[in-house]
Amino acid sequence: MQTRAVGGEQPKYYQLRLQQDLLGAWILTREWGQPGVRTTLKREQYLDLESAEAALNRARELQKKKGFQVMFSQGSDGPQRG
């Protein structure tokens, strides 16, 4: 997700990743900041996929309300190339 560039300032980004760890838990990684500037990274662990997906959806909706737009770099829900 990212915001539009405003007044010569680089756009802000907010990245969400959901991955399963080696023990079967799910890790939601949230990273945000501006390219070339200090960034923030947080990880949250969930025991099941349903709660991890719910947390991801809540985080995405909150950032959309703050003006971020969804951009896909990869993933099953990304736009199809062809």
| Global pTM value | 0.76
pLDDT digits (tens, 9 = 90+) for 12-63: 999 999 999 999 999 999 999 988 888 999 999 999 999 999 999 999 999 9
Cα 70 to Cα 77: distance, rounded to the nearest angstrom: 11
Phi, psi for 52 (deg, rounded to 5): -65, -45
Q: Which of 63, 21, 61, 62 is nearest to 45 (CA)?
A: 21
Whole-number pLDDT of residue 79: 47
Whole-number pLDDT of residue 11: 86
Tokens of 13: 């980004």
